[in-house]
Chains A and B, each alone.
Chain A
Amino acid sequence: MPKTYEPDGGQQKPRGGLILLQSLILVLFCLFTLRLWYLQVHKGEHFADLARENQLRQASIIAGRGMILDRNGKTLAVNEPSFALGLIREDCEDIQGTLQKVSEWTGIDYHVLLDTYIRGKKRSKPFEPMVLISNLSYELLAKIEANAVSWPGLEILIRHKRFYPDGKLLAHVMGYVAEANEEELEKDSSLALGDHVGKQGLEFTLEQRLRGEKGLKQIEVDAYGREHDQQVILEPRSGNNLRLSIDADLQAFASKQLEGQAGAIVVLQPDTGKVLALVSQPSYDNNLFVLGIPAKTWKELRDDPMHPIQNRVAQSVYPPGSTFKVLMAACALSEGLVKTTDTAFCSGSYRVGDHDFHCWKKGGHGTVDMRSALVHSCDVYFYQLGEKLGIDRINRYALQAGFGTPTGIDLPHERSGLIPSTAWKKRRYGENWTRGETLNCSIGQGYVQVSPLQLAKFIGSVLNGGKVIRPSLVLDDPVDVQSKLALSDKDREFIVKAMADTVQAGTAQRLKRPDAVLGGKTGTAQVVKLVNADVRQKVHDMPYKYRDHAWLASWGIKDGKSYVVVCMVEHGGHGGETAGPMVKAVYDYLFGPVPGQAKTVKSEPQPQGEIGD
């Protein structure tokens, strides 16, 4: 279609137009030149450094946590490989989409993952994988591995998981490790999200020795996270292996004695303070905590009326009952207030003001000296002794012997217990101390509270020549003598002898065996104050929570080996009756069966001790 076009004023071009175009070109040119100069020449060195950093990533190499073994080399805590899902956020093109996918695969709530991501983002180094999900099950692992390929940034990490082969048996000693919380991460910059730290028990207190140091590797990667080359810059250093003084077999045996009861048994060497068994019943499986304990399980444990999480050896305190009389005797002798031969008359009760303080033996013990008062656990004798000493002297002596303060064992959250004094009562209640309260304390009742471990430590010091030694769980740690009992050897030997007599003829006769020297002191600690000694009922007729705590503090020597065994059974009733057989069993284990009656231990009629204190 031929068509002619007329010129439409061809020369009438917009006047400013061309100038506009040319100045725009100039602006564009100058703008880019200046910016390029700034980026490439002025800051070029800086960006070149950044580009090098982009290719090189540094990542830490996890260090193995030290293993924990018992004294015979049996493993108590080991590391097992575990798999975690890591996320390298710089490699991840679509964080939200990726998290959504992970949530789909695993069934873990998206918001939980997002929360983990946000927390991890704060703490992870650039290009270092942050742990999204730890301890993947094999099922999840397979699922993720099959899917993760198409989601850049996701990575399966191999890590260590703590495993306690004897979970329940040593939970209170070992404690456990679990993922570091916000606070711990904040405090310790060497920790990364997902790292495990000791939370309880030895794992907590010996954290620094067990943890080791992370290594560092340098990886050359592309932006998809694909490795080209890697090089270890710093070798990781594994944590120290620790050998405990614990004898796992003894521990298991002692635990069995307490099965079904709430209570504590502690076995230690008096000369070294090394703990061979530390039993707290009931117990819990510490492996549960390693993987992050489910809320329901945790609630069950926490609300269990038997308090399985409580370490009854060091974290619980009880009135020591008559076992405290050993300390009273030591105190009186070292103060020089009485001679061992001094006597008192026990009529069955002792009157102070208008109140009768009863002896556990209704008819009274008659005339008693210190030895027979200890052997038969005469309350009236110790009421009078307490009166003579006064609570402040008792307090001073008991503190020196290690009561009223943590023993210093390698476990966290130890309780101090309580040894009262006039000043303490004033401070605590704003009231004056009364004579009656001194009497109560003299037989280990009233305000006095001790932990089984404190008592074991004290009994050990009486036996070992007066050295107050810090109880210790690590076999190779040096013996730590904290102080010395103010007690002459003669007086000390007297007490030891009196304890031996208690086994021979007193309240702890159950322990008797012909081939070893054993000493002991029973105790029955009232949980509720009884109005009248006459209404004392048979143990089994009382409601559980009102029943007395049963104590037995003992030592045994055979073939140059000596042990202290303290047993406490919560609401167990009478010390000799309840704790006695358990302690005897422990000695039988330690010393071997009594010759000639090896196989008939159970059917043999047990020697009956005095029942009552």
Chain B
Amino acid sequence: MSPIDRRLLTHIYWPLLAIIAVLFSVGVLNLYSASGFRMGDGVSLNPFYQKQCIWGLVGFFCMISLTLFDYRYLKHLAWPLMIATLVLLALVPVMGKTVYGAKRWLDFGVFSFQPSELAKIATLVVGALILSKDTGRLGWLGLLGVLAVALPPAAMVIVQPDLGSGLNILLLLCGMILYRGLTGRVFKVLLLVVPILVPCGWFFLKPYQKLRILTLFNPERDPLGSGYHIIQSQIAIGSGQMWGKGFLEGTQSQLRFLPEKHTDFAVAVFAEEWGFVGTIALVVLFSLFLYFLAGVSRDAKDRFGSFLAAGVFFYFFWQILINMGMVLGIMPVVGIPLPFISYGGSATIVNFCLIGIVLNVSMRRFVFKKT
């Protein structure tokens, strides 16, 4: 492992770093508003934003650490990482801590840990490793190979139950497969088969999950359960109108009509207070962020790095699409946070780690180029 040298430092992808800083700051500011100041007469009842700052700090150090070595070293870590993940995931049902009716955490006394977060990174690295091995489009065999790697961790996460993280893992990998490209035959067959298989998946969903999907099409169907979230978040967003109600002035969120406003529905708080103009600005920021990630993938010096960056792209892309889609009422309510905006320790740290990997790839893009 070569120590970091000055040359690498100058190659740090500053625009990406800057946009992360902006997004994270918006997130903390938004959490400050969602912490309910108006309610508690100046005393925050839920100091989420303070904790989020700490998570950000921890994440920042993780991110920096992940830039210190050559990312290609990850090739050697990929499989051990995956095995460790599977072992930890297997431990969850046995000695996991139950929170909100789901066993997702492993309690190590000092800190709790969600193996599903590790599964995301492991799947990303292993996926990138396998997919970058050969060139050309992916045939049946290759596809099955990749799925064989991704399905066990995804399935284990989904049964926890953590549909959000499980979907995230699956979609991340699907994205990377599409990025690699499928042979014409495989693509055509999948085009036929998937639309049939997806409805079949319906029968494997839990009743509440089915309800959430049905509710999407008709929020009045379950106005107290998931429909309530959709209705209330749409009221919050819609009532923001063009210019928003102003910082800390969102009645929906300040008066607590909006549930989960600090986690999955955080963007509704933002949309209410900053209006159409502010929210579009946020969408632009996210689009730019994704654009930068795509750029890293394009400029990476090797296929492994390119696939790593593409994987990170998809990881964030699906989260943004699903979370904002859900809050805006065009996607089912699935517990997926919005990167850098939603409150959450594990998610924040994982997000920064992944950015760290991307920065790593990015800053080494010139290493073997003649300058």
Contacts and interface: CB of A to CB of B under 8 A. Distances in A.
A266 B287 CA distance: 90
Nearest to B324: A32
Given A17-B179, A224-B256, A41 B297 contact: no
A36 interface: yes
A52 B252 CA distance: 9
Interface stretch (A4-12, A105-113, A198-206, A552-560): A4-12
Given A33-B280, A90-B224, A8 B238 contact: no
Contacts of A44: 238-242, 276
A222 B255 contact: yes
A51 B330 contact: no
5 contacts: A5-B72, A7-B301, A32-B283, A35-B330, A51-B251
A31 B291 CA distance: 16
Nearest to A5: B72
Say what secondary structure dominates the interface of chain B.
Answer: helix
B245 to A, nearest CB: 9
Contact of A35 (B70, B241, B306, B328): B328
Contact of A21 (B283, B284, B304, B313): B313
A490 interface: no
A33 B324 CA distance: 11
B242 A40 contact: yes
Contact of A12 (B252, B271, B303, B321): B303
Interface string B293-313: 110011011111010001001
A7 B72 CA distance: 10
Contacts of A55: 251, 255
Contacts of B236: 51
B276 A14 contact: no
Given A3-B73, A17-B180, A28-B290, A40 B255 contact: no
A40 B179 contact: no
Interface of A: 1-3, 5, 7-10, 12-18, 20-22, 24-25, 28-29, 31-33, 35-37, 39-41, 43-48, 50-52, 54-55, 89-90, 92, 95, 221-224
A32 B279 CA distance: 9
Given A17-B297, A36-B283, A40-B238, 6 more contacts: A7-B302, A9-B302, A24-B317, A36-B271, A45-B241, A92-B224
Contacts of B287: 25, 28-29
Interface in B249-275: 251-252, 254-259, 271, 275
Contact of B178 (A20, A37, A50): A20
B206 to A, nearest CB: 16
A98 to B, nearest CB: 11
Interface in B294-349: 294, 297-298, 300-304, 306, 310, 313, 317, 320-321, 324-325, 328-330
A14 B179 contact: yes
B64 interface: no
B174 to A, nearest CB: 12
B330 A31 contact: yes
A46 B238 contact: yes
Contacts of A221: 255
Contacts of B280: 33, 36
B301 A10 contact: yes
A48 B243 CA distance: 12
A39 B251 contact: no
B275 to A, nearest CB: 6
A18 B291 contact: no
Given A33-B280, A50-B239, A28 B321 contact: yes
B295 to A, nearest CB: 9
Q: 6 nearest interchain CB pairs?
A: A47-B238, A44-B241, A223-B256, A51-B239, A21-B294, A40-B276
Interface string B220-239: 00001000100010111111
Contacts of A10: 300-303, 368
Interface of B: 1-2, 39, 70, 72-73, 132, 135, 178-181, 224, 228, 232, 234-242, 251-252, 254-259, 271, 275-276, 279-280, 283-284, 286-287, 290-291, 293-294, 297-298, 300-304, 306, 310, 313, 317, 320-321, 324-325, 328-330, 368
Given A8-B304, A12-B135, A24-B317, A40 B271 contact: yes
Contacts of A51: 235-236, 238-239, 251-252, 257
A46 B238 CA distance: 8
B275 A47 contact: no
A39 B255 contact: no
Contacts of A12: 135, 303
A21 B297 contact: yes
A43 B178 CA distance: 37
Nearest to B303: A8
Contact of B298 (A3, A18, A24, A224): A18
Contact of B291 (A5, A14, A25, A223): A25
A578 B357 CA distance: 108
A14 B236 CA distance: 42
Contacts of B325: 31
B268 to A, nearest CB: 10
B235 A50 contact: yes
Contacts of B258: 223
A14 B180 contact: yes
A225 to B, nearest CB: 10
A32 B181 CA distance: 27
Nearest to B317: A24
Nearest to A8: B302
A224 B45 CA distance: 14
B230 to A, nearest CB: 12
A36 to B, nearest CB: 5
Nearest to B299: A13
B216 to A, nearest CB: 13
Contacts of A21: 179, 290, 293-294, 297, 310, 313
B89 to A, nearest CB: 29
Contacts of B279: 36, 40
Given A5-B70, A47-B238, A222 B256 contact: yes
B167 to A, nearest CB: 17
Nearest to B182: A16
Given A18-B294, A33-B280, A55-B251, A41 B310 contact: no
A17 B181 contact: yes
A351 to B, nearest CB: 83
B1 A1 contact: yes
Contacts of B298: 13, 18
Contact of B275 (A31, A40, A222): A40
B241 A40 contact: yes
A48 B245 CA distance: 10
Contacts of B303: 8-10, 12-13
Contacts of B306: 13-14, 17
B276 A222 contact: no
Contacts of A13: 297-298, 300, 303, 306
A51 B272 CA distance: 10
B135 A9 contact: yes
B122 to A, nearest CB: 21
Contacts of B224: 89-90, 92, 95
Nearest to B1: A1
Contacts of A222: 39, 254-257
Nearest to B233: A39
A28 B317 contact: yes
Given A22-B294, A37-B276, A40-B279, A7 B368 contact: yes
Contacts of A5: 70, 72, 302
A54 B251 contact: yes
Contacts of B70: 5
A89 B228 CA distance: 12
B160 to A, nearest CB: 21
Interface centre among A7, A47, A221, A222 (most CB of B within 10 A): A47
A122 to B, nearest CB: 13
Contact of A25 (B2, B39, B294, B301): B294
A314 B132 CA distance: 97
A48 B310 CA distance: 40
